[in-house]
Structure 1
């Protein structure tokens, strides 16, 4: 049918002409969508504020030849309003939606949509530290895309154990026999933190000491950026503010 409805997260927007915007959306049922929202930059627009980055909306779209057209939009989560007023939340959310935008169409699944919505909701509420929300999101998003890091067995030989190395290029923790010469060792509590981030064990995450949080964050960033093949630009802004 030419008209359809879906739940979406607004990933990014671009100006088009004097009053329109092109939107990149991650939807619940239709993957990534590029659509035009006509007249949303006018002050008289009925739904322009519902289609800003980080917002979650129920939209009705008309199927176009190149770009779909937004016909209606009802807010499901006004997370952007609470995110943009805080620099750390804003840069964290920017890194999350940038990662979601990198997904191939086949990877833009309902699970990816729900994961992103949950992360943005947590950010807006201030439930946990911004960097831990991002780290947990990145690990889970990579896992849903088929790039889950090995955290309980050697990523090269499969030996189960608490291994002392973590190498992004090899896929996770690595045993002493498989680690290349000169590889830096990783503390056991850092690997435990990675496991907690992957599992969403927030009591453990929130109680972790700062050095463990920082060490785990560095490994998560390296792992995500290695498998995405390009740097996540928003992470640079987040790191420079720390």
Structure 2
């Protein structure tokens, strides 16, 4: 009885999305998860690379599952997995969706690596974005940029695309500074700041607020310009590159 009680005390269940995986030994994998209750988790899935594995494809990237885990000293162990949302299958079938999902997962991993407080909100945001991506609700690159802006806002770095990010003067303004937090007025503009088109700033504001009628009707040139500004904003606040962004195709 004591052995069973000890096992039960170290067992827990979570809803989690798979961020990434890598091989361990001949048949196992280390799975990096983002859970709704416990934040980021690194766990071992034993035997998952064997064709006879009980897990099947339930622990592939971007899958959302109900998991049972056993706490370990360094890595937890996944003992059960029940699929809740098989987003990974639809995403993996389209290269543009796959690269976008990879960039979102890498960003989520970086944001929740040290910030446990916002992990629950980051989990819900990521799962929502993956769902929209799997269903093809909007252009993949727009879903990505909207997710990136919202994820940073959830982490405490909300960009401003109307009022000046430094002095608060109402816009619209014609300059952008990642370091200062978004749109900046003429007086606050640092030397060398880019001057995006008015339509690009409107697109960025729409992506942050979820105004998809504006975002879906935006022009390709403004989408490309917005993507560059989002990437610089992400790099500045994370203080490191999101390497997967280089793989994302921009139309």
**Same structural fold, with TM-score higher than 0.5 when normalized by the shorter chain:** yes
1:83-162 aligned at under 5 Å gives the runs 83-103=91-111, 104-162=114-172
Gaps of 5+ in 2: 1-8
Over the residues paired in the alignment, what is the CA RMSD in angstroms? 1.3
Which residue matches 1:214? Answer: 224
Instruction: Compute the displacement of 1:208 (Å).
Output: 1.1
CA distance in 1, matches of 2:91, 2:191: 44
Give the conservation status (yes or no) of the 8 Å contact 1:107–1:145.
no
1:195-206 aligned at under 5 Å gives the runs 195-206=205-216
| TM-score with structure 2 setting the length | 0.92
| 1:37-60 CA distance string (max 9 Å, x none) | 111111111113100011110000
Task: Give the 3 Å change call, closer, same or farther, for CA 105–170 of structure 1 in structure 2.
Answer: closer
Which residue matches 1:24? Answer: 32
CA distance in 1, matches of 2:98, 2:192: 37
Does residue 163 of structure 1 match 2:145?
A: no
CA distance in 1, matches of 2:43, 2:158: 31
CA distance in 1, matches of 2:192, 2:240: 25
Instruction: Compute the displacement of 1:183 (Å).
Output: 2.7
Q: Report SS of the residue matched to 2:116.
A: helix
CA distance in 2, matches of 1:225, 1:9: 24
Give the conservation status (yes or no) of the 8 Å contact 2:177–2:190.
no
CA distance in 1, matches of 2:192, 2:100: 32
Instruction: Compute the displacement of 1:181 (Å).
Output: 3.2
| TM-score with structure 1 setting the length | 0.96
Give the conservation status (yes or no) of the 8 Å contact 1:155–1:171.
yes
Give the conservation status (yes or no) of the 8 Å contact 1:122–1:128.
yes
1:21-60 aligned at under 5 Å gives the runs 21-60=29-68
Q: Could you tell which deviates more after superposition, 210-219 or 67-76? A: 210-219
CA distance in 1, matches of 2:117, 2:95: 29
Number of aligned residue pairs: 241
Give the conservation status (yes or no) of the 8 Å contact 2:132–2:138.
yes
Gaps of 5+ in 1: none
Q: Report SS of the residue matched to 1:235.
A: helix
Deviation beyond 3 Å, 4+ runs, structure 1: none
Task: Give the 3 Å change call, closer, same or farther, for CA 67–108 of structure 1 in structure 2.
Answer: farther
Task: Give the 3 Å change call, closer, same or farther, for CA 171–34 of structure 1 in structure 2.
Answer: same
Give the conservation status (yes or no) of the 8 Å contact 1:32–1:108.
no
Instruction: Compute the displacement of 1:108 (Å).
Output: 4.6
Q: Could you tell which deviates more after superposition, 136-145 or 206-215? A: 206-215
Q: Report SS of the residue matched to 1:49.
A: coil
Which residue matches 1:178? Answer: 188
